[in-house]
Homo-oligomer: A and B are copies of this chain.
Amino acid sequence: MTRSELIDQIKSKRSFLCVGLDTDFEKIPRHLLNHADPVFEFNRQIIEATADLCVAYKPNIAFYECRGIAGWQSLQRTCEALPKDCLSIADAKRGDIGNTAKMYAKAFFDQEMSGLRFDALTVAPYMGHDSIQPFLDVEGKWSIVLALTSNAGGVDFQMHEDADGVRLFERVVGKTNRWGTVDNLMYVVGATRGEAFTAIRALAPDHFLLVPGVGAQGGSLQDVCRYGMNADCGLLVNATRSIIYASDDEYFAERAREEALVLQGEMEKELAAKGII
């Protein structure tokens, strides 16, 4: 999915919601356990209930990998079931040396090799240029570099200042945005870091930002929009637990839809207020 296609989807769905599919076998409603692949059945119903309200889906790969081969089967089926009008993001946070990064690119982008055909992959910056470039080199795919994450440990290294007062996450954005373009590179910026959006936007005014941390982690959608939204929207705001675990009974998909609808409504207001729709 190209940048302009993504922007069109945002305008037409009046939403910049990304639904996280961090599907924990232990947390899905028990009545699904009689399905051959309960995790996939859960995802299928969540997708069906929310596809018109969101512009992206983001399975976190750990939740599949922990179940080994069975997990990869669920992931492959889920990837197949993701609607073409939504950006599909593998949240894998991969990062390794060049020849290895090429293998990870095949794992998530090359369906013929791996069975997976995601549009985008989250990548970790610690190992530098040759750990990121192989992902950027894949035509028509997106790399989403970790800049400032929403977790408590995000401050341990990312917020640390160098001799010039530049924090590590700023250095990461400033350096990596010379390696890719607004058409193949995004950044992860946690919603729990309101003021940091200003610093990020100073370095990457036009890039899309993938924003976790709204909902269960306590970030504010309004703050994210105030400091992070640009003229093209420039935001994909992720919610996971507040949507997919809204209830654990037979109505989980309807409840997921209700929660997604609340967020979509708030997002529509933000888009309208900025004159984007």
Contact = CB atoms under 8 A, between A and B. Distances in A.
Work out how many copies of this chain go into the complex.
Answer: 2
A116 interface: yes
B113 A126 contact: no
A128 interface: yes
Categorize the interface residue count of chain A.
35 or more
Most B-side CB within 10 Å, residue of A94, A155, A161, A171: A94
Interface string A22-35: 10100000000000
A262 interface: no
A129 interface: yes
A96 to B, nearest CB: 5
Interface stretch (A68-76, A200-208, A248-256): A68-76
B126 A66 contact: no
Interface string A110-128: 1001111000000011111
Interface of A: 22, 24, 60, 62-63, 65-69, 71-73, 76, 93-98, 100-101, 103-104, 106-107, 110, 113-116, 124-132, 146, 149-158, 160-163, 165, 168, 171-172, 175
